[in-house]
Structure 1
Amino acid sequence: MWLDDPAIVATVVTLSAGAQRVVIAPEVGGALAAFYETTPDGPLHWLRPAAPAAFAERDPLRMASFPLLPYCNRIRDARFEFDGGTIDLAGNDARFAHALHGNAWRHPWQVGARTESSVELHFEHEPDSRLRGDWPFRYRAQQRIELSGGALHITLSAQNLAARPMPFGMGHHPYYPRTAQTRVYAEVGAMWHADADVLPTHLGPHPAVAALREGMSADAFDLDNNFANWSREATIAWPDEHRRLTMIADAPFDHMVVFAPANEAQLCVEPVTNTTDCFNAVGMREQVGGCVLQPGEKIAATVKWTPHKN
């Protein structure tokens, strides 16, 4: 296990409070590598721990969770219209046909103030016109990560440093352990149906809406969808292991993504401020989310994960 690898340990920041631990990889997109509890039988993981290759390849997609700024999930064809012009993000990552998850996760973050149980990470984006598809707005972002009161708290904040308005969204992308018994509980109003490119087509009913209220099996549907009118609280439960993890988010994390693909071990329940492709989406602002930050304007919100044992 990489937790015992001195080369990896030297690159991470580990926070502790009682038996809880959070391992952070600032150089890998400011991602969390693990959130676990020490026990006599070894670590009890509340988030899916990072794969060893995630460090070698600097791949946040194989970490435990990573920040999403300045937008969440995909932008269709990597372009959108804003303030009288076209924002073209094509070419920022050849792996994806559509722009994905913003740019903060693709860069190292700087470590700021730190205590035994908390740390601040900083990232500042300076647009580079020489880089095709670079985000054309200057902004500053921060994560404050803290273990407190038996819970993991992450406060995401950002400020528009550009001289013009900037479209904006943010979120975090946590992966959870997934077993045959895993259940997800959440109060949601409707689901964004999606096309083959996982881009939203319309907001409407779906059996997953009712299933989430009752405790949806992670294997019930093939999901990579946004949910609207979320109560900003969700619980991931492992009844066979007699434990559960409750996630509570502040506004404007008013949207939730569930990624539970069929026949895969992955499970994400993501608090986000905007639905996929929100800069192109047609609908009322409360349905698609996101915002416009004026020059100098700041935004901040917190997500809390609280473990429970039955």
Structure 2
Amino acid sequence: MTSRSTPSRLPAAAQATFDTAALDDGQLVTLAHGETRALVAPHVGGSIAAFYDTAGHAPPFHWLRPATRAALDARDPLGMASFPLMPYCNRIRDGRFRFEGEMIDLPSGTGALRHALHGHAWRRPWTVEARTDSTLTLHFLHEPHAFTSSHGPDSHAGTGWPFRYEARQHLTLDASGLTVRLWARNLAARPMPFGLGHHPYYPRPSGTRIAARVRAMWEIDAEVLPVSLNAHPAVDALQAGLLVDDFDLDNNFSGWRHEAQIEWPHEGRRLALRASAPLDFFVLFSPPGLPYFCAEPVSNTTDWLNLRHAGTAQRIDVGGTVLAPGETLETQLAWLPERL
């Protein structure tokens, strides 16, 4: 149904067999409530390493795909359970965009990776600011030009994100589930474009379904960049409850109603994903043959900064925002487990 390039999403660590023993790691912060646990890896991009239920399960039931030993050793966020997306979500075409008359040139790779991906906050460590047994606050500070590209010797070393900002994640584990509150503030002396979200991976046993109400889907080109916003069979299938194995997707959906239901009928489990504005967009990544899929709450469509400059935003809502100096942005998402 779509043509896409997937190497950037499928590192070796992410393809490895799930290894729950890997989670016995002293660098992980454990949140606990009753029989539920959430493990967080501040040093791996402020990622969530696992979210699971130990009640009546040996091994535990994992609501998100748990991190592998290889991913933890490599500090690879793509092998985590979920990681934060800032200051934009998904790809920026050729790692470049124009903002207020200035061409911003982002560090990026080559070939299929020449499109800057998921911002930079997921590639850097976050600082533990506060914690209790069931809550954790992480802090991130971006200083322009303080970091170089992490894509390797063949990378295009752009000047990077020129706007100074800070961000926080506040995670709470309670009887309802795991909530993540995202917060960011523009510390620059000029306006800053900004987008945010989270990138969760879910286990995908046979029969896994996902349901969500969306309005339309962005068709993509061979490099997973948006071409046009249209009706699509996946839109109707999502409303009815899409069988994940029936669709090969890496697409952004607009008009998301801020809720999705993921169901594992053979396990008798269901997980509600709920979010608040401006997480008005939804990405579904369901490549065939892999033991996981992604359903991502995000505040902007792929390449929104270039679509905005091209005037697409005048006709179609592509999301994202512009923060004035000192202005803040806050949102939250939650994973709420249920038994069928």
Task: Say whether the fold is shared (TM-score over 0.5).
Answer: yes
Check 1:284–1:107 CA distance in 2 against 1; reply closer, same or farther (3 A cut).
same
Check 1:5–1:290 CA distance in 2 against 1; reply closer, same or farther (3 A cut).
closer
Which residue in the other structure is 2:224 paired with? 198
Structure 2 residue 317 is the aligned partner of structure 1 residue 287? yes
Judge conservation of contact 1:259–1:266 (CA < 8 Å) in 2: no
What's the CA shift string for 1:216-246, capped at 9, x where partnerless? 0111111000001111000110111111100
Match of 2:68 among 44, 51, 55: 51
Which residue in the other structure is 1:269 paired with? 295
What's the CA shift string for 1:121-144, capped at 9, x where partnerless? 000000117843321111101000
Match of 2:106 among 89, 98, 114: 89
Listed as ranges, the matches of 1:31-110 within 5 Å are 31-40=47-56, 41-91=58-108, 96-110=113-127
Listed as ranges, the matches of 1:138-217 within 5 Å are 138-217=164-243
Task: Give how far 1:92 is off.
Answer: 6.7
Structure 2 residue 282 is the aligned partner of structure 1 residue 256? yes
Q: Equivalents in 2 of 1:130, 1:75: separation in Å? A: 19
Check 1:174–1:5 CA distance in 2 against 1; reply closer, same or farther (3 A cut).
closer
> Which runs of 5 or more residues in structure 2 are unaligned?
1-17, 149-156
Q: Equivalents in 2 of 1:162, 1:107: separation in Å? A: 20
Runs in 1 of length 4+ with deviation above 4 angstroms? 1-6, 92-95
Q: Equivalents in 2 of 1:267, 1:233: separation in Å? A: 17
Listed as ranges, the matches of 1:21-36 within 5 Å are 21-36=37-52
Match of 1:18 among 1, 21, 34: 34
Greater displacement, 88-97 / 292-301 = 88-97
Greater displacement, 251-260 / 278-287 = 278-287
Tell me the amino acid that sits aligned with residue 46 of structure 2. G
Task: Give how far 1:149 is off.
Answer: 3.1
Which residue in the other structure is 1:242 paired with? 268
**Secondary structure of 1:227 counterpart:** strand
Q: Equivalents in 1 of 2:201, 2:303: separation in Å? A: 21
Q: Equivalents in 2 of 1:204, 1:142: separation in Å? A: 35
Judge conservation of contact 1:70–1:168 (CA < 8 Å) in 2: yes
Which residue in the other structure is 1:302 paired with? 332
Q: Equivalents in 2 of 1:93, 1:145: separation in Å? A: 35
Task: Give how far 1:283 is off.
Answer: 3.0
Check 1:129–1:148 CA distance in 2 against 1; reply closer, same or farther (3 A cut).
closer
Tell me the amino acid that sits aligned with residue 207 of structure 2. Q
Q: Equivalents in 2 of 1:28, 1:130: separation in Å? A: 16
Which residue in the other structure is 2:5 paired with? none
Q: Equivalents in 2 of 1:204, 1:99: separation in Å? A: 25
* Number of residue equivalences: 309
Task: Give how far 1:78 is off.
Answer: 0.4
Greater displacement, 271-280 / 87-96 = 87-96
Identity %: 53
> Which runs of 5 or more residues in structure 1 are unaligned?
none
Q: Equivalents in 2 of 1:11, 1:108: separation in Å? A: 12
Greater displacement, 113-122 / 83-92 = 83-92
Judge conservation of contact 1:109–1:121 (CA < 8 Å) in 2: yes
Tell me the amino acid that sits aligned with residue 206 of structure 1. H
Judge conservation of contact 2:198–2:298 (CA < 8 Å) in 1: yes
Tell me the amino acid that sits aligned with residue 192 of structure 1. W
Q: Equivalents in 2 of 1:230, 1:130: separation in Å? A: 34
Task: Give how far 1:262 is off.
Answer: 2.1
Listed as ranges, the matches of 1:221-240 within 5 Å are 221-240=247-266
What's the C-alpha RMSD, in Å, of the aligned pairs?
A: 1.8
Q: Equivalents in 2 of 1:303, 1:285: separation in Å? A: 28
Judge conservation of contact 1:175–1:269 (CA < 8 Å) in 2: yes
Q: Equivalents in 2 of 1:94, 1:27: separation in Å? A: 28
Tell me the amino acid that sits aligned with residue 171 of structure 1. G
Q: Equivalents in 1 of 2:315, 2:168: separation in Å? A: 25
TM-score (ref. length: structure 1) = 0.95
TM-score (ref. length: structure 2) = 0.87
**Secondary structure of 2:262 counterpart:** strand
